[in-house]
Structure 1
Amino acid sequence: MRDSARTLIEDATGAHVSASRPLSGGCIGEVYHLRMSNDRELVAKVGGPGSGLELEGRMLRHLGEHGVPVPDVMHADDHLLLMTCVASGDSLGPRVQEHAAHVIAALHDNAGPAFGFAYDTVIGGLHQPNPSAPAWVPFFRDHRLLYMAGEAARAGRLPPAYRRRLEALAERLDEYLEEPEAPSLLHGDLWTGNVLAHDGRLSGLIDPAIYWGHPEIELAFSTLFGTFNDVFFNRYHDLRPIRPGFFEMRLDLYNLYPLLVHVRLFGAGYLGGIDRTLRRLGF
């Protein structure tokens, strides 16, 4: 660990760093597991101006205030995000899947005043606009699907033909998507690496990309990289019934957004998934 990072941490905690080791994960800066001189175990993310660490801390605190298991944020600015260390390391086995269904259903039970959020957030380090909107389908169309298609196109990673097909779909979204009963609080980035598990339970969620939206977009994203399985979905459905047509069609449509995020970040390797969904929908 750099001396400058150590100084930031010790100034923020009033304790000395007894031991540190680097951790993988996150899109921003350096991440460390720390043991402090007072025997506390912490996790530190070290960044700099414009890193987004202050925003990450704000999002974690918001989730925590709404009953979600997240690390406690001890300090948050763009130079240093300091959090408690959450027990983790287990795979997402059946007991974890069952408990996760209760956690995510309770998260989605938090109802907001409108779609969007009080401030813009980030996903994978990319800007995620959250203007207040009274209806879900226009919000998803303009501020998720078309916005990220535009970002990927401007980065030279989304071919013009793909963008035209996405725009054609966007004009007909009302034929495919439904409005929820109310905007739900979403974590926003539920891939396996952001779900911590220990002793048969979901012990914490990290790296959020929060906003008020339709729970189905969150459920869809959780399938993209195999985070949750049938054990999760069966229990979630018992708690918050999933409307017919989600698994058959809406799941793949909603996953166009995270696929576009990955195209913007990583390039053409994710175009195949977009192409398959568009073809299936007739575009």
Structure 2
Amino acid sequence: MSSDGDDRPLRALSERVRDALGTGVESVAELDGGEVGRVVRVTLADGRTVAAKTGETPLDVEAFMLEFLADRGLPVPEVFHRDDDLLVLEYVAGDSEISPAVERDAAGLLAALHGEHPRGEDGRKTEGKFGFPRDTLTGPYRQPNPWTDSWVAFFRDRRLDHFAAKAREEGLLSPPLAERLDALAGDLDSLLPDDPPAALLHGDVWANNVLAADGAVRALLDPACYFGHAEVELAYVDFGGSFGDAFFETYDDERGIEAGFRDERCAVYQLVPLLEHLLYFEEDRYAAGLRERLTGLGY
């Protein structure tokens, strides 16, 4: 039931799930839907339990990403039904309590995922190394993914400049801070490799998007996929405090972390989630985070 005592939205959602799956609904209970969308656990008359998600962003994009990841071996919920404003998924039991064993398991899963190379939907060679078969979403924001051969160009144009421009449009980025970001963007070819191996990224690995039980990851939720430099994922894990030393040590053993990541590239890659969080939460601590990292990088 909704917090104001009006259970009509839940009844309407229950009816939509019934119609989508062709089976009756026994009960519906609210779940934590994160920052975007509403998520409920639905017990069906046929004995199954599913999760149903609604939201204002096009949910068929999330379904596409989940199926893309599932085809490449990452544990994600199975998609039972999708359209723009309703997603019905496998309900995966677990919690977001992260132990060292879970960190090590997550490191192995992501190291394997990062070994996946880009290919088109038909299995043929893509038009570039970095990008994705379609634009995706990170939270409520469009994430453009045109295939690009240059990693520096992709990260500069489709991530750093893209989200900085949106923050400027919203009046959230002061002119001096915007100028510092522009200066760094102009020097990216000296800060980042232009041709790293293209790795498939989950894109939003933080604790609330990890379901775990018995020391293992049961599912990773809410992806924001594309093919990019694997260190973007590591920088985001560090940014969100998702995992600790056990994760990074295991990932280094499995795949290797190149020298210079902690000293410089991690801070460069964290500029993007800071911009995304500034856009969504409109809190000055994220602008302060941008200033801190830019200062540390000499800008």
Q: Distance in 1 between matches of 2:11 and 2:243?
A: 40
Pairing partner for 2:12 from 4, 22, 30: 4
- The C-alpha deviation readout for 1:169-213, integer Å capped at 9, x for no partner, is 011111111245421111111111111111110111111110010
Written as runs of structure 1 = structure 2, the 5 A alignment for 1:133-282 is 133-267=148-282, 268-282=284-298
Pairing partner for 2:86 from 80, 85, 89: 80
Unaligned runs of 5+ in 2: 1-8, 119-125
1:61 matched to 2:76: no
Contact 2:96 2:208 in 1 (8 A): no
Q: Which amino acid aligns with 1:72?
A: E
How does the TM-score come out when normalised to structure 1? 0.96
Q: Distance in 1 between matches of 2:110 and 2:195?
A: 16
2:77 corresponding residue in structure 1: 71
Q: Distance in 2 between matches of 1:36 and 1:64?
A: 24
> Alpha carbon RMSD of aligned pairs, Å?
1.3
1:97 corresponding residue in structure 2: 103
Number of residues of Structure 1 aligned to a counterpart in Structure 2: 281
Q: Distance in 1 between matches of 2:248 and 2:257?
A: 9
1:20 corresponding residue in structure 2: 28
Percent identity of paired positions between Structure 1 and Structure 2: 41
Contact 1:90 1:199 in 2 (8 A): no
Q: Which amino acid aligns with 1:133?
A: T
Q: Which amino acid aligns with 1:37?
A: A
Contact 2:99 2:215 in 1 (8 A): yes
Q: Distance in 1 between matches of 2:206 and 2:244?
A: 12
Task: Tell me: CA distance 1:197–1:179, structure 2 relative to 1, closer, same or farther (3 Å).
Answer: farther
Shift of 1:27: 3.9
SS at match of 1:33: strand
2:39 corresponding residue in structure 1: 31
SS at match of 2:74: coil
How does the TM-score come out when normalised to structure 2? 0.91
Contact 2:145 2:226 in 1 (8 A): yes
Q: Distance in 2 between matches of 1:132 and 1:212?
A: 9
Q: Distance in 1 between matches of 2:298 and 2:15?
A: 57
Q: Which amino acid aligns with 1:172?
A: D
